[in-house]
Copies of this chain bind each other. A is one copy, B any other.
Amino acid sequence: MRLKRNMLFLKKQANTFLLTLLGLIVCTSCVRKKIEIQDKNDSSFPYTITKETKNREMSQAMKRSFENYDGIHPAENELYSQFKYTELKGLDYNGHDGTISRRDPSKIIFENGKYYVWYTYRNTIVPPIGSKRANESTDKIPSTDWDLCEIWYATSADGLTWEEQGVAVNRPPKPEVGWRSVSTTDILKWKGKYYLYYQGFMEASGKSGDYCPVAMSYSDSPDGPWTAVKGAVIENGAEGEWDQYAIHDPYPLVHNGKVYIYYKSAFNRPGNVWVAGGLAIADNPMGPFKKHKLNPVLNSGHEVSLFPFKEGVAALVICDGNEHFTIQYAKDWVNFEIASITELMPIAPGPYVPDAFTNTKDGRGITWGLSHFTNAGNGKGDQHSILGRFDCDLSLDVNDSGMKASRNFNKPEYYFSKGLSKKQLDKIKNQN
């Protein structure tokens, strides 16, 4: 055995010598000659990747590396990023007692020399009592964090400090769409006018579900005043269809000279609820909106947040579903593929998307936005949401290596804070 090993070692040494000699002979060679050497080595995958490497016979995993991603390494993948978070300045939360909540920020636009964002604003006499107690909710007592809400807006010079400007869209009088609550808005700019799409609730969320269609208001200025269109602008699906109960998170972009609104709905109850993303298209902001025949177009994600990227559109796919924690890309704006897998993604992000409405065929990507954190407060009945800023590098015009790390490091204490439940621990102890 030992002899055989020594022989092998000598053979390897000889091979190394021959290869080194060959290397010396061709060391002044052009790229072409280097490739020839690698071709002779084709029984094993090479140490150095070249343009030719992708033509080798490869395992399925290695094939995906070359075919499915923008780069062979996360750092070289324009649609890969980590996310960094910053607290905002300028927004008051009444001592974080749960009576004021801000959540579901819209995408951010830049107008009149400043950034604008719209969001769900709740200011109620008490914190939400929870969807399970929805029947105890009143005109003053909210069931969920997004019940009894209005659409407010804020502006900022730098995206870090925000000045709240007050209400944009009030709840309309009963029985109009949204009389109970208007929430989860997003903004469209179209031919010099502004359009806010949002969820319009006709009952306290939780009473019979979390059901609503999409309503809309428009204005000549991002500062309003806003005029509400009567009724729903995107209707729920017909009975038996996946989006029969709700159209949530309407998110407009402009593509092919049309208004593309991505949205989410939840279906397959009872059982494991499936949350997926749909697409509705209209020739103008007033509709009518035609739902895409291949809906749902996103199979995962609890949030709806997209941006034009090259000729296609990219989506942040977060929280729910088999393909949570991914960034996806659809060249045709319909058929999404996984472009990267990442971690600690922003919740309900509203990115700053400079080319959201330019009908671009060369989308440049995003570097920051606002997101929300739904578990602010100390968890003892003061539940509310706060807005925060996220930064990333999903831009073709930026190359921030500080955003391209493969992973976050966490302290042991953080892992241990994600511990077993008492039931799980008892089960382990009882097995032994």
* Contacts from A to B (Cβ < 8 Å): 1-2, 5, 8-9, 12, 15-16, 19-20, 37-38, 41, 43-49, 57-62, 64-65, 68-69, 71-77, 80, 82-87, 157-160, 230-232, 235, 237-244, 267-269, 271-272, 274, 276, 286, 288, 291, 293-300, 319-326, 328, 330, 334-337, 340-344, 368, 373, 375-376, 386, 388, 391, 400, 402, 406-412, 414-416, 418-421, 423-425, 428-429, 431-432
CA distance A344 to B19 in the complex (A): 44
Residue from A71, A80, A410, A415 whose CB has the most chain B CB atoms within 10 Å: A415
Report whether A291 and B19 are in contact in the complex, using a CB–CB cutoff of 8 Å.
Answer: no
Contact of A320 among B242, B407, B429 (CB under 8 A): B407
State how many copies of this chain the complex holds.
2
Q: Please name all residues of chain B whose beta carbon is closer than 8 Å to the beta carbon of A74 when the two chains form the complex.
A: 321-322, 324
Report whether A319 and B406 are in contact in the complex, using a CB–CB cutoff of 8 Å.
Answer: yes
A399 to chain B, nearest CB (A): 12
Q: Please name all residues of chain B whose beta carbon is closer than 8 Å to the beta carbon of A159 when the two chains form the complex.
A: 428, 432
Which residue on B lies nearest to A58, using beta carbons?
B294
CA distance A406 to B414 in the complex (A): 19
Q: Please name all residues of chain B whose beta carbon is closer than 8 Å to the beta carbon of A334 when the two chains form the complex.
A: 59
CA distance A368 to B146 in the complex (A): 39
A181 to chain B, nearest CB (A): 21
Q: Please name all residues of chain B whose beta carbon is closer than 8 Å to the beta carbon of A406 when the two chains form the complex.
A: 319-321, 324
Report whether B321 and A5 are in contact in the complex, using a CB–CB cutoff of 8 Å.
Answer: no
Q: Please name all residues of chain B whose beta carbon is closer than 8 Å to the beta carbon of A69 when the two chains form the complex.
A: 322
Report whether B373 and A412 are in contact in the complex, using a CB–CB cutoff of 8 Å.
Answer: yes
Which residue on B lies nearest to A6, using beta carbons?
B231
CA distance A240 to B421 in the complex (A): 50
Show 16 A/B contacts (Cβ-Cβ < 8 Å), sorted by A.
A1-B286, A5-B230, A15-B238, A38-B240, A46-B267, A49-B274, A59-B295, A59-B296, A60-B335, A61-B335, A64-B322, A65-B299, A65-B321, A84-B418, A159-B432, A324-B407
CA distance A424 to B41 in the complex (A): 44
Residue from A242, A272, A402 whose CB has the most chain B CB atoms within 10 Å: A272
Which residue on B lies nearest to A315, using beta carbons?
B61
Q: A267-B47, A325-B325 are in contact. Are A391 and B242 (CB under 8 A)?
A: no
Report whether B335 and A241 are in contact in the complex, using a CB–CB cutoff of 8 Å.
Answer: no
Q: Please name all residues of chain B whose beta carbon is closer than 8 Å to the beta carbon of A12 when the two chains form the complex.
A: 235, 238
Report whether B241 and A47 are in contact in the complex, using a CB–CB cutoff of 8 Å.
Answer: yes
Report whether B44 and A237 are in contact in the complex, using a CB–CB cutoff of 8 Å.
Answer: yes
CA distance A423 to B62 in the complex (A): 36
A359 to chain B, nearest CB (A): 23
